Structure 1
């Protein structure tokens, strides 16, 4: 379903952040919208299975500010995100609940189509945007990887602390693609991605944040920890620089 770290590391409950954007309906989903509505570039942020975590929303606000972009965070899971108490799934009951959720609510094929639906409607809703990109966190990274091939509506794409990395996905990517991995993703899978992405002529990039845990940019980000906060901000700036380069 995801990497081992995603199944075992606890979520961090973050408080005190005031979102800069607002919510509206798009393609039948509640969507967090942040940034100028007349922006020239747009980004769709696909969260991890813990949904609209404060740290993910804050990251979207950072991307909107640094890119001067409209950034959308659709609630693909429709308010039914994975529960913090399921992790780690150290009982049969927890494992059953988590697997049922992943199978029924967090279906990769269904949410891949949902992302394409959001992208289509976003183009109509925000007509000033000349180029759209998308980035996914963990589970969301798998969704993004699968729509980064031929015929994608996105000019550039990316994954952070990605889940379920497969070389076959990387081989189908046809647009600039960035991967920011943590120390907890399988090193061999990251290396295979890196080899493919950096040699396929699409100007992709892969880096491992060797001192960061899985989820340091999403629901597992501990922004009260000085090192995590520093690397969180550095990584979001790195994403911004990548998309700034390619979304024109």
Structure 2
């Protein structure tokens, strides 16, 4: 698996945002260590979302994206774990694909970096705060991590996906246990074959895809600047689409449980 060209070459922006949430230590240790997460959203919501940032880690536009997602469509409790124990990828590595991939292999590997256990710890933290349903939304590389989490045999996730997804192939989603929502920019490969490849699984909610042809890779994360009106409007649309979808899968699951 490799990152696409835009992911390897596009630098982060100098965007600004005042965070609405808080950092907290997860109650469950991961590989014997304390790990942190960023929590945002109304504490009385029973709908949880795990967020996975992009290769630049926490960034003002990433915070804004998840803060707004937490308040959309009735609200969600959103938890974005600190995936990288070290600092995130340095912008100086942009353009050096081998160095970027080496960084992710060392610090962002789903199993070897214990991201699987970190995501489970974040889910349990949300569950302890009253959440009864869970989706997982990642950005760029984070979408790939989200899909891996949603492909586990014991996955609790009702939906998985993200904006400007990297490394999304038919092979990458073959074991996914829930429907997908993928919002591509102009820089990603065609996501339609990926969406079509999971239709045979006959999930209760149909997978969803939309391409934002006027947006560049990363506009909802580290490469986004929502002081730009066009990016801001596209960002708000993405937030609403994700919120509507996560609310829908939660409602369908709740209705199905009530019938049983």
Q: Normalising by structure 1, what TM-score? A: 0.89
- Equivalent of 1:118 in 110, 122, 129: 122
SS at match of 1:155: strand
Deviation at 1:77, TM superposition (A): 0.4
1:77 matched residue in structure 2: 84
Deviation at 1:243, TM superposition (A): 0.7
1:152 has 2:168 as partner: no
SS at match of 1:108: coil
Gaps in structure 2 of 5+ consecutive residues:
29-33, 252-260
2:249 matched residue in structure 1: 246
Rounded Cα–Cα distance in structure 1 between residues aligned with 2:244 and 2:133? 15
- Equivalent of 1:57 in 63, 77, 89: 63
- Report which of the two has the higher share of helix: 1
Report runs of 4+ in structure 1 exceeding 4 Å deviation.
none
Gaps in structure 1 of 5+ consecutive residues:
90-94
1:38 matched residue in structure 2: 44
Cα pair 1:198 1:205 within 8 Å, conserved: no
1:31-62 deviation line (CA, Å, top 9, x unaligned): 11111222111111100111011111111111
Q: 1:231 to 1:199 in 2, by over 3 A?
A: farther
Rounded Cα–Cα distance in structure 1 between residues aligned with 2:47 and 2:134? 6
Q: 1:164 to 1:174 in 2, by over 3 A?
A: same
1:29 has 2:35 as partner: yes
Rounded Cα–Cα distance in structure 1 between residues aligned with 2:8 and 2:72? 32
Rounded Cα–Cα distance in structure 1 between residues aligned with 2:163 and 2:98? 27
1:12 has 2:13 as partner: yes
Q: 1:51 to 1:164 in 2, by over 3 A?
A: same
Rounded Cα–Cα distance in structure 1 between residues aligned with 2:12 and 2:166? 16
Deviation at 1:83, TM superposition (A): 1.1
Rounded Cα–Cα distance in structure 1 between residues aligned with 2:43 and 2:150? 25
- Please list, as runs of the form range in 1=range in 2, the aligned pairs for 1:1-248 lying within 5 A after superposition: 1-15=2-16, 17-26=17-26, 27=28, 28-67=34-73, 68-89=75-96, 97-109=99-111, 110=113, 111-123=115-127, 125-126=128-129, 128-149=130-151, 150-187=153-190, 190-202=191-203, 203-248=206-251
1:157-205 deviation line (CA, Å, top 9, x unaligned): 2222111112023232221221111111122xx2321212445322111
Q: 1:206 to 1:222 in 2, by over 3 A?
A: same
SS at match of 2:157: coil
Rounded Cα–Cα distance in structure 1 between residues aligned with 2:108 and 2:215? 25
Rounded Cα–Cα distance in structure 2 between residues aligned with 1:115 and 1:180? 22
